[in-house]
Structures are given as structure tokens and as C-alpha cells.
Amino acid sequence: MAECPHGFLSADKIHRVNLMKTLTKAVMAIALTGTAAMSYAAEIDVEITNVTTGTYFTPLLIAAHSDNQVVFEPGAAATAELQAMAEGGDISGIAEALSATGAVLEENPAAGLLMPGASTMVTLNTDNASGNDYLSIVAMLLPTNDGFVGLTHWEIPTEPGVYPIALNAYDAGTEANDEIRGSGAPGEAGLPVPPPLEDMVGMGGTGVSAEAEGFVHVHRGVLGDGDDEGGMSDIGFSQRWLNPVAQVVVTVK
């Protein structure tokens, strides 16, 4: 059919143009659907290594969670759940809060304390939870008052590969870093000393002059001293450390 006068398209050409537009929209829709399906990593391995020489990690919590969940935020006050973890190694409160939102969790993969130089690995599968695109990791550092190793709200890559991450130690800011023995209970002064550390931590310290900071921040490290039966601190020089305190390797499959 010939083209109409004055530059107007014939009915046949209009039909063909509309058909092309429909096909283009269909192709774009398929492409976007594929992008959405690949916008998260279905399975990842997470290996965690304690790179300190004399500090232990309490049971670890590793979680793949949604964008609107934040386990801790530097510069902000610690939640009650974070305080319980940072002062006494109790990860149950954080685990319950994340589980309620559909997060994928692994708790205590090392079956207890993660010793200096030791590693542990977990596999997280998010096939049934496509919104869990962020990774967080926490565990208390022993011996400290309220120190913890942490990764918060790290976006999991969608591209398969191996991704190394160095983790710092943080201070929950909920307890003064007096470096003397205590119950480890939230709100009570003193650092917990579980049996594996009994022979490594001193006693009779007078306490380091300190106050709770009131917000989460990068840990300054412990001061310690060389007197196992007195001095200022119950922490010995062998438990001193510098950041980073852990090496994490995330493998996206």
C-alpha cells in the first residue's frame, strides 16, 4: 500500500511500526526479568580466620539479610541485642531479630571459641530468600570489655568470584574498657573470662581509667600490662592486638 500524502504513514506501515514496538517491549521485559532473577547470589561460602595472636572470638553469627536490616552502625548507639553480644558473647538476640525478617543465618560454626590463627567456614543458600543481598558478621573478642569483630551491611556481589575482606574490631560503647575481670553480663562492669582463657588472663588489676563512650566505634585495642597478679589491667601483653583482627573470604558461586 502506498504512503499517504502529507507524510502520513499508510495503515500497513502503522501496523508494522506498532508490531515492532510490541516486540521491543517484550524483549525488554524478558531482559529485565532475567536481571531481577540474577540480582542476588543464590549460594555463597564465607570463610572467617582469626588473625590475632592471643585473642579469641566467641561463637560467630553470620547472616545474609535484607537491605533494611542493620546489625550495627558505627557512630550510633548500640542496640540491646548488640550489647549482649559485645559484652557477653550472646548472639541469640541478634539471631532472633534477623530470623524474624527472613534472614538466612549460621550460628556458632566453629562450635565454640575461634582460636587465634584458626578458621571456620559456612555456606549460606538464599534460593528461597532473594531479598537477602547483604552480609553481616559479629562475634565478641575475648578478653575485652565490649569489643567485637564485625562486618555490617556488606552488599553481596552478584558476579561469581572470590572476595576477600579484612575485618576490624569495634567497641560497642556500652561499657568502660577497664580491663578487669567481671561477670560479662550486660550492664555490669568487667570482662568475662571463660575457662579456656582462665590461665591467660591475670587478676588483681586496679582497672584502666575509662568511661563508656555511648556509641559504636572502631576499637582502640587493649592496653594490657605485664603483671599477672596486679597492675592496672588483667589483660596481658600477649592479648594485645591491632586492626584488622579477622580475614573473611566470600566465594560467590
Q: The domain that contains 195 carries what CATH number?
A: 2.60.40.2130
Question: By percentage, how much of the chain surpasses pLDDT 70?
Answer: 83
Report the mean per-residue pLDDT for the chain: 88
* Res. 99 pLDDT band, cuts 50 70 90: very high
Verify that 126 and 198 share a domain, yes or no. yes
Domain count, the chain: 2
Collapsed DSSP state (helix, strand, coil) of residue 201: coil
What pLDDT, on a 0 to 100 scale, did the predictor assign at position 13? 53
Of the listed ranges 33-37, 50-54, 78-82, the one predicted with least confidence? 33-37
pLDDT score, position 10: 57
**Strand 169-171 and strand 217-218: pairing?**
antiparallel
Residues in the chain: 253
Query: Could you tell me how far CA 193 lies from the centroid of its own chain?
Result: 24
Say if residue 70 is in the same domain as residue 122.
yes
Q: Do 13 and 85 fall into the same domain? A: no
Residue 190 parent element (H or E) = none
Mean pLDDT for the stretch of residues 213-223: 97
Same domain, 103 and 33: no
Query: 181 and 68 share a domain?
Result: yes
Instruction: Render pLDDT for 164-173 as a digit per residue (tens, 0 to 9).
Output: 999 999 999 9
Let me know whether 25 and 141 are in one domain.
no
pLDDT surpasses 90 at 7 = no
What residue numbers bound the domain in which 50 lies?
43-252
42 confidence band (pLDDT: 50, 70, 90): confident
Residues 109, 115, 121, 124, CA torsion sign: positive
pTM of the model: 0.83
Residues 51 and 88 in one domain: yes
Mean pLDDT of 180-187: 91
pLDDT mean over 26-51 = 65
User: Would you say residue 183 has pLDDT above 50?
Assistant: yes
| 129 and 227 housed in the same domain | yes
146 and 174 housed in the same domain: yes
32 and 101 housed in the same domain = no
Q: Where would I find the beta strands (DSSP E) of the chain? A: 43-50, 56-57, 61-65, 104-107, 119-125, 134-142, 147-155, 161-167, 169-171, 217-218, 246-252
Indicate the burial class of 162 (C-beta count within 10 angstroms; 0-12, 13-18, 19 or more): exposed
> Does residue 64 share a domain with residue 152?
yes
